Structure 1
Amino acid sequence: MAGHSKFKNIMHRKGAQDKKRSSMFSKLSREITVAAKMGMPDPDMNPRLRLAVNAAKAQSMPKDNIQRAIDKAIGGDMENYEEIRYEGYGPGGVAIIVEALTDNRNRTATNVRTAFSKNGGNLGASGAVSHGFDRMGLITYPASAGDADAIFEAALEAGADDVSSNEDEHEIWTAMDALHEVARGLEAKLGPAEGAKLAWKPQTTVEVDESNAATLMKLVDTLEDDDDVQTVWGNYEVSDEVMEKLG
């Protein structure tokens, strides 16, 4: 399990799919509303909103929910959300980046700091770990979208930089400023992506042993359970053997 694994990996591990889905819908709605407010409320004219809407559709979010999130921005009755990044270290010296959308900076900072301190980590200053990551675009498709060779060929034609495939999904990495263009190209060939967003790709990874893995997973879970936290990225690798022991 790699440090940029997304929601469905956590859902599978914890077996709390309903709770996670509700939380995921809330986070997706917040991103749609913010994207619609920052640009035009038309997905065809607003690349960030288009990606957010496609990500919501890929997670089977009802159309009414998506439209309500857009209408909230149009109506001007939304909270003023601020994008904030936190950086710190988890158990075993793992580097972690937390991205949040919040209407209360103090609340979110307190929650993130508490999550780190109670789960074997510590929150650092801005820039403490991000120098060890590359800011890139990440597009994900389920394994059912096609075999690794077919996905690689489609990604290459669309202008992607790298592709990583496993039994669960295909991860397609792009230059940051090429994300929207590559996502459109892939959508034409493969249909809507399961997810498309800016991501933090670690330059090197840290293998986490069994003694630290359980605490690390609890830290990641705690952070992702917070309503203000949108994404959690890390440079960790946990072997399948260790993950099986954790259950």
Structure 2
Amino acid sequence: MKRWGHMARVFTKIGKEIEIAVKAGGSDPSGNTRLRILIQNAKAENMPKENIERAIKRATDKDAADYKEVIYEGYGPHGIAFLVETATDNTNRTVASLRMYFNKCGGTLGTSGSVAFMFEHKCVFKFRVPAGTEEDTITVYAPYESFGAIQKWIEDKGFETISGESVRIPVDTKELSAEERESVEKLQERIEEDDDVVNVYTNMREPEDDEADEE
């Protein structure tokens, strides 16, 4: 049941991103590079074709909600930095909800720029290359400013794009005990469950990072 709830949230968030892309660049994927990659992302998440088409159609409706991409920043328990990407049609609602989550979980919603400098803005692409090469799937990380150029290069080469997205990678991570991690994860889960939220990033060191260092 939890898996289906997660899928529903993912579909809702991708749908909002598609609506924003359509309003910015039109409903034709061939002439809208952002929409084209979002459709690939939706397919990678097994989002039904009819859901994708509905999102595109909603964006062309004159009465459609006007979603804006807004970033919020703050500190969670134990001084962990949080960077929250949202797609919202009501910033007052979104900021009130986020402030409540932070306050209830021992954190503080900050001001713009308070933690953004702790993260590098990157783009990450996954694409398939022709059979016969050593790796059939390639993952590329690059500065976010290169997003359009990399997407064009992949398409010009005729490679199949699996997904392409924006990510925020912490410059440094902070190690916590298992108990401390639990309190941070509680806040992260509450934020991620909000329909206005697209992505949540923290600078908490993940357990697998520790294991990788030991190898």
Equivalent in the alignment of 2:194:
226
Amino acid at match of 1:197: E
CA distance 1:129–1:179, shift in 2 (3 Å): same
- Alignment gaps of 5+ in structure 2: 211-215
Equivalent in the alignment of 1:174:
142
Tell whether 2:212 aligns with 1:239. no
Aligned pairs for 1:187-198 within 5 A? 191-193=160-162, 195-198=163-166
Equivalent in the alignment of 1:27:
13
Question: TM-score w.r.t. structure 2 length?
Answer: 0.85
Tell whether 2:197 aligns with 1:211. no
Aligned pairs for 1:97-136 within 5 A? 97-136=83-122
Q: Measure, in 2, the Cα distance between the counterparts of 1:215 and 1:17.
A: 22
Tell whether 2:15 aligns with 1:46. no
Tell whether 2:169 aligns with 1:201. yes
Equivalent in the alignment of 1:86:
72
Equivalent in the alignment of 1:59:
45
Amino acid at match of 1:36: V
Equivalent in the alignment of 1:10:
none
Q: Measure, in 1, the Cα distance between the counterparts of 2:34 and 2:91.
A: 23
CA contact 1:139–1:197 (8 Å) conserved in 2: yes
4+ residue segments displaced more than 4 Å: 184-190
Question: TM-score w.r.t. structure 1 length?
Answer: 0.75
CA contact 1:90–1:216 (8 Å) conserved in 2: yes
Tell me the alpha carbon deviations over residues 1-43 of structure 1, each in whole angstroms, 9 at most, x when there is no partner: xxxxxxxxxxxxxx71100101111111111011101112112
Tell me the alpha carbon deviations over residues 64-114 of structure 1, each in whole angstroms, 9 at most, x when there is no partner: 111111111122231011221110111221111001111111110011111
SS in 2 for 1:237: coil
CA distance 1:32–1:205, shift in 2 (3 Å): same
| Higher RCO (CA < 8 A, seq sep 6+) | 1
Cα-Cα RMSD: 2.5
Task: Name the count of aligned residue pairs.
Answer: 205
- Structure having the higher Rg: 2
CA contact 1:209–1:238 (8 Å) conserved in 2: no
Quote how far apart the aligned CAs of 1:182 are.
2.1
CA contact 1:137–1:179 (8 Å) conserved in 2: yes
**Percent identity over the alignment?**
33
SS in 1 for 2:161: coil
